Amino acid sequence: MPNPLSIAPMMDRTDRHYRYFMRQITRRTLLYTEMVTSAAIMHGDKEHLLGFSLEEKPLSLQVGGDNPADLAECARIAEGMGYDEINLNVGCPSSRVQSGNFGACLMAKPQQVADCVAAMIDATKIPVTVKHRIGVDDLDSYEDMVNFVKVVSQAGCQRFTVHARKAWLEGLSPKENRDVPPLRYEDVHRLKQDFPHLFIEINGGFKTLTQVEQHLKSVDAVMVGRAAYDNPYLFATVDKEFYTEAASFFNRREVVENMYDYIDKWAAKGLKLNKITRHMLQLFTGIPGSRAWKQHITENSCRFGVGSEVVREALAKVPG
């Protein structure tokens, strides 16, 4: 899937309601689910875990696991549900993920990752991609990363998303692993030079579209993480700038208004309003009225049975 921009899979953030909200801002950016374990996909409530609206596409399911047969079944399920891609997580350093023998610890086992990828590719027609770190613990040389990519690409993976920080499996929390290890963008740029036939995407620390544009000169794609959540309207112009779409984009007020029917549909099903509006709080970041917007939603969205009227009242507090 040639796609130059994506929003990173983020636990407790990139759920279906966040993704639907972001589709009011960008139609083309590739979106990801939160990471879902292979065991949960196979044995859990699939509609609850994997359900999505067609408006969220293009959409990739990120899965965590280390068993080729299980991951192959997950790939079949993903394809059957209409996902556009399935992505294997080889980057998460949390202790919970390590205890399941997947995530970043698999960087030390490139052949096992290759076996997983090969099984997934055999099971589905949708692209199978991998998100990984530049290294893990003491296996953090450029040569270590090259070996990992070489082995996994030989199994058929053509798209690699590289978080340009190594991961420490001991001594750092997942949050610290997103900030403490230094960024090594040049290693990812070099990877693209050494593997020109592969689709290489870079991830880590991007906050502006100027940065995105600059890195696209050296790699095929850029993945934005926390900035896409903390400042979602950052993506308002990307369809025009990076996908050359002629269509104009919605202003912030229109984005909110576009959410009313969606909110009321879910409210009618009994969903608490804050499950949706928590993702919308930062829409007016840097704009007069942002504080009043957030305060009104925060104070009222936990009430039972409320719907879009709370959001309409909050919007009325924003000038313009």
First to last CA, the chain: 40
Is 116 considered catalytic here? no
- Between CA 34 and CA 61 the distance in angstroms is 8
**Does a cis peptide bond (omega within 30 degrees of 0) precede residue 181?**
no
H helix and E strand count, the chain: 17, 9
DSSP-assigned letter for residue 216: T
> Which pair of tokens denotes residue 128?
């199978």
Helix H or strand E encompassing 181: none
Active-site residue, from 74, 92, 105, 116: 92
- Burial of 29 (C-beta count, 10 Å sphere; 0-12/13-18/19+): buried
Residues 6+ apart with CB under 8 A from 159: 1, 127, 129, 130, 198, 199, 201
Residue 203: strand pairing partners: 163, 223
> Which pair of tokens denotes residue 256?
């909110």
Of the candidates 112, 109, 5, 107, the residue with the CA atom closest to the CA atom of residue 60: 5
17: Cα within 13 Å, side-chain hemisphere: 23
33, 37, 43, 48 alpha-carbon torsion, rounded to 10°:
-20
Active site positions, annotated: 92
